[in-house]
Amino acid sequence: MSAYLVGGLVLGGIYAIATVGLVLTYRSSRVFNFAHGAIAYFLAITFHWLAVDQGWPRLTAGLFTILVAGPVLGVILWAVLFRRLAHAPASVRLVSTVGLWVALPPIARVVYGHREIFDRLGMGPSPARTWKITGVVVDSNQIAVLVSALVVAALLAVLLRTTAWGLSVRATVDNPMMAGIAGIDTERVTAGAWMLGVALAGLAGVLLAPLRGYQDFQFTLLVIAAFAAVVIARMSSLVLAFGGSILIGMLQSLSQSKQAEDLLTHILPKDSIILKGLVPSIPFVLMLVFLLLYRGLAREQFLVDERAGDAVPLDPVVGDRSLFRRLAPLAVLLAVVVALPYLVSGLWQAVVAKGLALSIAFLSYTVVTGEGGMISLCQVTFAGIAGALTARFATGAGMATLPAVLLAALIVVPFGLLVALPSLRLGDLYLALATLAFAELVENMYFQLQSVNQFDSGVAVPRPRIGPIGFSGDRAFYYLLVVLFAVVALLVVNVRRSTTGLTLAAVRSSEPAAATLGISIIRAKLVAFGLSAFIAGLGGGLYVTYAQRSLPYVSFNALIGIVWLAVVVTWGIRSVPGALLAGLSFAVIPHFFSEHFSGGWLELPTMLFGLGAIGLARRPRGIVHDVTHRRRQRAAARATAAKVAT
Amino acid sequence: MTALLAVEEVSVRFGGVHALRSVSLEVAAGRVAGLIGPNGAGKSTLFDVVSGLRAPATGRVLMDGRDITGSSPQARARLGMARTFQRLELFGELTVRQHLVVAHRVRHRQARLALDLLGLGSRPRPGEDDAVDGVLDLLGLGSIAGAPARALPIGTGRLVEVARAVATEPRVILLDEPSSGLDGAETERLAAVLGRLRAERAVALLLVEHNVDLVLSLADRVTVVDFGAVIADGTPDDIRADQAVQRAYLGAAP
């Protein structure tokens, strides 16, 4: 038992180091860094490369990574990205760091040579030296974590409480404008916070690797635990961040002990998956518990982003272009989409069908983010649940495929509402974190159930039949998807133009004004969230029908969801053609690369998608908007110039 | 006669600072209550309390004699309360006309998702067009009805705020510095509009203003606050004569 206590303390210590870095950067810049885990991964790989490939002494390599590489990476990221984000709308800030999360791991693998790392080398001796202290075995890696956590805690306390820099940080956090007026160079303070924050991510990464290895999902688990601790800390309290981290580490470690297992096997059903999924689900459960606990607190007691309602800047709803101008590009796109199966052959027909199924799922972002102004990181999970249910209804219960897809998508809706409800009141960031934790929970519990996963072979799904017409061929199925995409797109456009759409636009622009007008903000957002869950569900059901197999752990895991979001925002989160192109490019680009390249090049598509989302800091409306509106903007500029001249 | 809207001894604290200290005022149907005071006197905070965006530490807000202190902003809107914001809170990507359509529809019908999905939710209901056009005319916004709000100058934006509040067909409107940023002609128009609202629709107005002349000419009763506390309360004539007010706020006597 006491070994699990030490294990929990160690795990909690790593979480704490990661969490305080996250809180520090968020507090000083209002940019919540979703890429924190990816940065930890990047720096851990940097360490490994220095120590193994370059043959540096391991301690030197470790210290260099934490004290030099970390701060340098921090200041570079601040200069090129985070600084620019400080004045961007909340959703752009969120999505840009999500893009960084997507782009960094492949960049690390390309920069340091594409390879899998199977060893678990750390800074300390390898194999680790062990000691027996009052009957508990502790090894050198664990000692390193405990000492580091204590040093970080002490260092931060001293830095923030007693130094001039600490005072400037606290002033900047309270009120950047007043701090600026008082003569504090807030930019320098923020840059310093990012250097420190990124260095702490590096420290957490280098400490985690010898305990858990160098696979990138380990760093995702790290950062999800840190996100839960950040929620416990209400984004602001470093003390709560530390305590929350330890709590999560302890619970995760203790839940693996013999005693806990005995206890749980008594009260839970026998399926061992619940035990297996318990550890990853602890952050989500704790996040949920604390969100519910905090419900009684006033909104002001949270570090809520005041600009949260200021969503992605959008196209004006009213079109002043002529009908022809508006429809011409759409007609061209439609013609290409219809002709596509005849332009490509064989395997590519399946690839474009896959892309189209994804496009339908991507329309759910058009609703939840484009209309609702919310960032959801679990659309992929809704798709995955609906896909698994579709397989169960169609293959298990013998339902016709299309009704099964519809039913599965409807079943997903209440789940969507339940995920959104506790965090909606607190704004975009809490919702994004809760949805991410939910994605992780479902991935580790439901998607790994024996009946869903079937030893990684998945559950078969038959292609549909409508009366005499069968859709077993990829080309026929593709055209069915074209029709279904058009139907869903029509629904989305209808909602946008309706009273619901107007209401959502109002809520997105100004929550106080919407509320005093009598609009129920929670209801409006729930409608958008529920509808988007339904659409994501449809997309998921159709995706498994395309693949003729449901294997959600592979197709719909949380990390894939992150890439989904990056692709969609790159093309345009508000745009129906944007969703279409995003789906097609998500399927086509990686397939193209896998046919023509090998090795590190295969990382390139993911990297591009991530960079696309990062680029949002520059052009928040996406490619589709930029291309279609450039001409219009020029015309408007000319008109204005003419007016000024007269 | 019970006041349409009454504020009873409302206090608000931010940390250790008293933003409002036991402030009371009331306004009846078809009447105008003015609220003046220097910057930071707590006027906007009071509006947030009245409209339900902020809970007071102590005190009550009553509408038709009913305690609504714990009600949501939405519930107050349903009772017939509307407000404008000093820092403009317009719906940037909606047109001026759409602002009024949203306001009108919130009052008159719930959005029905099923209909909206089928494309039946965008048609105006009977009477909606007339009502919206009426408000546009009232505030002289007809010529810019199709302009998106984010492109408007501040003065026009204020008029849109007023129009949006009027479009909910309220019984009481809280106006937070509606004339700031308006030019002389716009201010006159605003004063005329407010006069018509009270006369024709018996709307009660609670008016926070920097433009003291506007308040003193429109209001039936004026409350003066400074440092979160009421320092004077009376008819416009009383206020003009009040020594404390002149010292704290008006500077030289008008």
Q: Is the pLDDT of residue A458 over 70?
A: yes
- pLDDT given at position B184: 87
User: What confidence tens digit (pLDDT) does each residue in A487-503 have?
Assistant: 999 999 999 888 899 99
What is the rounded distance in angstroms from the CA atom of residue A107 to the CA atom of residue A114?
Answer: 10
Hey, what are A400's tokens? 């016709």
Least confident piece of the model among A414-423, B37-46, B231-240: B37-46
What is the rounded distance in angstroms from the CA atom of residue B19 to the CA atom of residue B247?
Answer: 21
- pLDDT given at position A35: 94
Is the four-CA dihedral B96, B102, B104, B107 of positive or negative sign? negative
B39 vs A: CB within 8 A: no
- pLDDT given at position A581: 92
Kindly state the greatest CA–CA separation across chain A. 90
Q: What is the mean pLDDT of chain A?
A: 85
End-to-end Cα distance, chain A: 84
Query: Between chains, do B117 and A516 touch, taking CB under 8 Å as contact?
Result: no
What residue of A is the nearest CA neighbor of B47? A516
Q: Which residues of A touch B83 (CB under 8 A)?
A: 516
- pLDDT given at position A312: 39
Q: Write the ipTM.
A: 0.92
Which letter does DSSP use for residue A325 in this model? H
Q: Is the pLDDT of residue A25 over 80?
A: yes
Q: Provide CB contacts within 8 A for B9, sequence distance 6+.
A: B22, B23, B24, B58, B59, B60
The DSSP result for A455-516, as a single string, is TTT-EE-PPPEETTEE--SHHHHHHHHHHHHHHHHHHHHHHHHSHHHHHHHHHHH-HHHHHH
Q: Is the pLDDT of residue B54 over 60?
A: yes
Q: Provide CB contacts within 8 A for A577, sequence distance 6+.
A: A329, A330, A333, A624
- pLDDT given at position A310: 41
User: What confidence tens digit (pLDDT) does each residue in A82-110 have?
Assistant: 888 877 777 788 888 999 999 999 999 88
- pLDDT given at position A315: 38
Residue among A316, A495, A508 whose CB faces B117 most closely? A495
What is the rounded distance in angstroms from the CA atom of residue A363 to the CA atom of residue A537?
Answer: 11
Where is pLDDT greater, at A628 or A408? Answer: A408
Q: Is the pLDDT of residue A418 over 60?
A: yes
B71 vs A: CB within 8 A: no
Report the interhelical angle of A347-365 vs A323-343 (nearest 10°): 140
User: What confidence tens digit (pLDDT) does each residue in B139-158 have?
Assistant: 889 999 999 888 888 888 99
Query: Residue A536, SS3?
Result: helix
Please tell us whether the domain made up of B5-96+170-250 is placed in CATH 1.10.1380.10. no
What Å distances lie between residue A257 and A1, A140, A253, A441, B91, CA to CA? 7, 22, 7, 20, 55
Query: Residue B118, SS3?
Result: coil
Residue among A315, A502, A515 whose CB faces B74 most closely? A515
* Closest C-alpha to A205, from A34, A42, A16, A23: A42
Q: Is the pLDDT of residue A425 over 80?
A: no
Query: Between chains, do B83 and A516 touch, taking CB under 8 Å as contact?
Result: yes
What residue of B is the nearest CA neighbor of A513? B89
Interface of A with B in 302-361 (CB under 8 A): 314-318
Q: Is the pLDDT of residue B37 over 90?
A: no
A516 vs B: CB within 8 A: yes
Question: How far apart are the CA of B238 and the nearest CA of chain A, in angstroms?
Answer: 33
What residue of A is the nearest CA neighbor of B169? A517
Cα A182 versus chain centre, distance: 37
Is the four-CA dihedral A225, A229, A234, A236 of positive or negative sign? negative
User: What confidence tens digit (pLDDT) does each residue in A574-598 have?
Assistant: 889 999 999 999 999 999 988 888 7
Question: How far apart are the CA of A233 and the nearest CA of chain B, in angstroms?
Answer: 20
Residue among A499, A513, A514 whose CB faces B121 most closely? A499
Interface of A with B in 482-501 (CB under 8 A): 490-491, 494-495, 497-501
pLDDT-based confidence at residue A529 (cuts at 50, 70, 90): very high
Mutate one of A488, A498, A526 to test the B interface: name it (highest B CB count within 10 A).
A498
Question: How far apart are the CA of A58 and the nearest CA of chain B, in angstroms?
Answer: 51
End-to-end Cα distance, chain B: 33
Least confident piece of the model among A64-78, A115-129, B163-177: A115-129
Q: Provide CB contacts within 8 A for A613, sequence distance 6+.
A: A95, A96, A98, A99, A102, A103, A565, A566, A567, A569, A570
What is the rounded distance in angstroms from the CA atom of residue B92 to the CA atom of residue A510?
Answer: 9
Q: Provide CB contacts within 8 A for B232, sequence distance 6+.
A: B222, B223, B224, B238, B239, B242, B244, B245
Question: How far apart are the CA of A514 and the nearest CA of chain B, in angstroms?
Answer: 9
Cα B99–Cα B104–Cα B106 angle in degrees, nearest 5: 95
What is the rounded distance in angstroms from the CA atom of residue B104 to the CA atom of residue B94?
Answer: 14
Least confident piece of the model among A409-423, A612-626, B229-243: A612-626
Alpha helices (H) along chain B: 43-51, 73-78, 96-108, 113-117, 128-138, 154-167, 184-201, 212-218, 236-241, 243-245
Q: Provide CB contacts within 8 A for A550, sequence distance 6+.
A: A387, A388, A390, A391, A452, A458, A459, A461, A544
Question: How far apart are the CA of B94 and the nearest CA of chain A, in angstroms?
Answer: 7
- pLDDT given at position A643: 56
Q: Cis ω on the peptide bond leading into residue B254 (within 30° of 0)?
A: no
Query: Between chains, do B146 and A495 touch, taking CB under 8 Å as contact?
Result: no
Average pLDDT over residues A295-323: 48
Mutate one of B13, B17, B74 to test the A interface: name it (highest A CB count within 10 A).
B74
A299 vs B: CB within 8 A: no
Average pLDDT over residues A429-444: 89
What is the rounded distance in angstroms from the CA atom of residue A215 to the CA atom of residue A205?
Answer: 11
Residue among A490, A494, A518 whose CB faces B107 most closely? A518
What residue of A is the nearest CA neighbor of B163? A517
Using CA atoms of B37, B41, B43, B45 in order, give the dihedral in degrees to the nearest 10. Answer: 180
* Closest C-alpha to A289, from A255, A237, A251: A251
Q: Provide CB contacts within 8 A for A148, sequence distance 6+.
A: A13, A17, A203, A207
What is the rounded distance in angstroms from the CA atom of residue B160 to the CA atom of residue B163?
Answer: 5
Where is pLDDT greater, at A416 or A424? Answer: A416
What residue of B is the nearest CA neighbor of A300? B54
Tally C-beta pairs within 8 A across A and B: 120
What is the rounded distance in angstroms from the CA atom of residue A14 to the CA atom of residue A517?
Answer: 47
Is the four-CA dihedral B220, B226, B230, B234 of positive or negative sign? negative
Interface of B with A in 98-137 (CB under 8 A): 98, 101-103, 105-107, 109, 111-113, 115-122
Query: Between chains, do A516 and B51 touch, taking CB under 8 Å as contact?
Result: yes
Q: Which residues of A49-70 are buried (b: 16+ CB within 10 A; e: fewer)?
A: bbbeeeebebeebbebbbeebb
- pLDDT given at position A270: 59
Q: Which residue ranges form the domains of chain A, and what is each CATH number?
A: 2-264 (1.10.3470), 346-632 (no CATH)
Where is pLDDT greater, at A601 or A405? Answer: A405
B17 vs A: CB within 8 A: no
Question: How far apart are the CA of A528 and the nearest CA of chain B, in angstroms?
Answer: 10
B92 vs A: CB within 8 A: yes
Query: Between chains, do A513 and B113 touch, taking CB under 8 Å as contact?
Result: no
**Percent share of chain A, pLDDT over 70:** 88
A590, HSE (Cβ side, Cα atoms, 13 Å): 14
Question: Contact, A525 vs B146, CB < 8 A?
Answer: no
Domain range list for chain B: 5-96+170-250
Q: Provide CB contacts within 8 A for B23, sequence distance 6+.
A: B7, B9, B10, B11, B42, B46, B59, B223, B225, B228, B229, B230
Computed over its alpha carbons, how large is the radius of gyration of chain A?
25
What residue of B is the nearest CA neighbor of A312? B93
Kindly state the greatest CA–CA separation across chain B. 65
Q: Provide CB contacts within 8 A for A491, sequence distance 6+.
A: A535, B117
Find the helix or strand (DSSP H, E) in which B22 lies: strand B17-27
